[in-house]
Chains A and B, each alone.
Chain A
Amino acid sequence: MSESLLEVKELCTYFHTDAGEVKAVNGVSFTLEAGKILGIVGESGSGKSVTAYSIMQILADNGRIASGEILYKGQDVAKYNKNQLKGFRGKVCSIIFQDPMTSLNPVFTIGNQLEEAILLHTDKNKEEARERAIEILTLVGVNEPEKRVKQYPHELSGGMRQRVMIAMALVCEPDILIADEPTTALDVTIQAQILELMQELQKKLGMAIILVTHDLGVIADMCDEIIVMYGGRVCERGNAEDIFYHPKHEYTKGLLRSIPSITNAKQKLIPIAGTPINLLSMPKGCAFCSRCDAAMKICLTEIPEEMRLSETHLASCWLNFKAKMEEGGTGK
């Protein structure tokens, strides 16, 4: 095990809405190791993006971190003051969003926006900042960077804009890059370009990446470690091998069964029954119980504990406890 860079402990993030308290993230813990790519996968409402936003402290006004710790080098980010946060965001941890159009300011040129970020975080002067902007644009594979710095966001295509967003996130060479659905708004061929770029940059710069996505295909290709989330909780975590070939949570299994693939083309898909979770009325037990075919009585009333299945693989499902019991094992 290499050193841990960021440690999230029992994070709970709640949103206050007119309809009631929404527990978007409900006790999520994970460790991000330096230089690794961590994938957080889940569907809408699973709390995957909120987890990312909580780390960056960029929650909407009605949201708050109710409990838990986000430890970076032993310090709790959640308790940072404004100045400390300024140093944290951008320098230590950067984020890129799903929609590159709305995350770039349409009235400033690409160069202006990049330079602003550089000037804010370093003591470079204007000229050095421009040089650095061109350098970083070259790094993310933007062709003719000298020309691009004078252009406005609307003059670029979607893929180019996402590259600029990545460039902006990387200007200060952060230790952690959070990518929130970085390729969802892009076409498949452009998505492939961006994913390859991210892998390349990760190798070159050695930062850690948290990749938040709903697309299992993206995760399969990219990640060292994967967290599957459902209803604000972690269902299962492990490496790609564990998750894709030996899933031990009914939700992960169902998810893998339900996606069409080249091999099961003419067979009927096996969907997960039911409707997505309503965050306003969460079940008492396992969040997935009402859609689970193998749900047991205990699943309805008690939240399953996370159980270690192998060196890398953990899952929170009562079925694993049942299996262990039937084996007659007494824990580990």
Chain B
Amino acid sequence: MNGTDNLLEVRDLKQYFPIKTGMFQTTPLKAVDGVSFSIKPGETLGLVGESGCGKTTVGRSLLRLYKPTGGQVFFEGEEVTDSNMTALRKKMQMVFQDPYSSLNPRMTVEDIIGEPLDVHKLYHGKAERRDKILSLMELVGLNAEHATRYAHEFSGGQRQRIGIARALAVDPKFIVCDEPVSALDVSIQAQVINMFEELKEKLGVAYLFIAHDLLVVHHIADRIAVMYLGKIVEVAKADDLNQSPMHPYTLSLLSAIPIPDPHIAHSRQRIILEGDVPSPMNLPTGCSFRTRCQYATERCAKECPSLTDRGDGHFVACFNK
């Protein structure tokens, strides 16, 4: 994973949050615990996992919205630090999950999309600002007449387009998409997914596409990383992961997806996981999946498996598979 042509490289990223457990005592909540991956220019890496597995935190730590507890992030070969982050914000952007709370209700569409331009002073004169905003709106399929409207007047899908236009305003090379379609209606999801794909072709941006819906991620991503309780348990090309998943967690995740096809749904074998996800405050020893894993052995309780290469870029963190 040490290729020099990587756009983004993450090494052993750790993000702990102190949680008060007593009057003077805090316990770290290990939201992200040693995550490493890399993304090539123009590539889409899907990050899948259940709620609380730390996938959103990974995205936010990458953009330094939290101060990482440990690990390094390299962008275009350069280590990301607090001091050079301001400049890097022109190259790394984010699209948020909730199209309702991610747009300021007191700002017009024009001002929302124009904010990155204002912050980084990317225009000379009002006319240029307006031109840029209108061309961005056209790019994401918004009607230019709506520039002076407020965000609350739009539907979820349109609002998500505004959020995407805002991220694109600085012409970034990398965008973190944090569950960008999960709050949208099914009929609108496809519009937005298609738009992400079109933008990728047109502008050559790379995405870290975070989602809990494996079908959506499988559709858009080149490679997929599966996260469980702060760790990546499997990384593979999208089709590989789908056809030959190795980690028992990925297996059950795949078999649990509701498939909108009654024949397949009735005929397939389901692996239903027992029990619940353990609390990240109180992780099991060794492999954190062992409490729900049907293959768990004594070794799993003692050691924590690390990602090992199984050929063709397929990495799995499991002793037994």
> What is the distance, in angstroms, from A323's C-beta to the closest C-beta of chain B?
24
Known contacts: A218-B258, A244-B261. The answer to whether A188 contacts B253 by CB under 8 A is yes
Check if A258 sits within 8 Å of B190, measured CB to CB: yes
Indicate which residue in B51, B212, B238, B260 contacts A217 across the interface (CB closer than 8 Å).
B260
0 or 1 for each of B261-280: is its CB under 8 Å from A? (1 = yes): 11001100010110011000
| Contact B262 A260, beta carbon cutoff 8 Å | no
Q: Is B244 an interface residue (CB 8 A)?
A: no
Q: Which of B50, B238, B239 is within 8 Å of A188, CB to CB? A: B50
Q: Is B149 interfacial (CB-CB < 8 Å)?
A: no
Question: Which A residue sits closest to B274, measured CB to CB?
Answer: A193
Give the residue of A259, A265, A291 whose beta carbon is less than 8 angstroms from that of B190.
A259
Are B262 and A189 closer than 8 Å at their CB atoms?
A: no
Contact A265 B242 (CB under 8 A): yes
Q: Using A188-B212, A260-B216 as known contacts, say yes or no to A269 and B190 having CB atoms under 8 A apart.
A: yes
How many residues on the B side are at the interface (Cβ–Cβ under 8 A)? 42
| B contact residues around A217 at 8 Å (CB) | 257-260, 265
Contacts of B157 in A (CB 8 A): 275-276
B191 in the interface (beta carbon within 8 A): yes
B272:A196 contact, CB within 8 angstroms: yes
Q: A305: CB under 8 A from chain B? A: no
Binding site secondary structure of chain A:
helix
- Does B155 reach chain A (CB closer than 8 Å)? yes
Tell whether, in the assembled complex, residue B187 and residue A258 are in contact, meaning their CB atoms are under 8 Å apart: yes
User: Interface readout for B147-160 with A: 1 if CB under 8 Å, 0 if not?
Assistant: 00000000111100
Contact A192 B256 (CB under 8 A): yes
Interface membership of B188, Cβ < 8 A: yes
Q: Digit string of B220-234 for contact with A (CB within 8 Å is 1, else 0)?
A: 000000000000000
Min CB distance B286 to A, Å, is 20
Assess the B265–A221 pair: CB atoms within 8 A: yes
Restricting to A167-202, which residues have a CB under 8 Å from any CB of B?
A: 187-193, 195-196
Task: Find out whether the CB atom of A259 lies under 8 angstroms from the CB atom of B260.
Answer: yes
Is A259 in contact with B258, judged by CB distance below 8 angstroms?
A: no
B173, CB-defined interface residue at 8 Å: no
Contact among A256, A257, A260 for B219, CB-based, below 8 A: A260
Tell me whether B189 is interfacial, beta carbon within 8 Å: yes
Contacts of A218 in B (CB 8 A): 258
Q: Does residue A135 face the partner (Cβ distance < 8 Å to B)?
A: no
With A43-B186, A270-B190: A193-B257 Cβ-Cβ less than 8 Å: no
Residue of A whose beta carbon sits closest to that of B268 = A221
Which chain A positions have C-beta within 8 A of B144?
none
A44, A189, A221: the one contacting B273 at CB < 8 Å is A189
Question: Could you write out 19 A-B pairs with CB less than 8 Å apart?
Answer: A44-B185, A188-B214, A188-B257, A189-B256, A191-B256, A192-B270, A217-B258, A221-B258, A241-B262, A254-B187, A255-B186, A261-B259, A261-B261, A262-B242, A264-B219, A265-B238, A271-B193, A272-B188, A276-B187
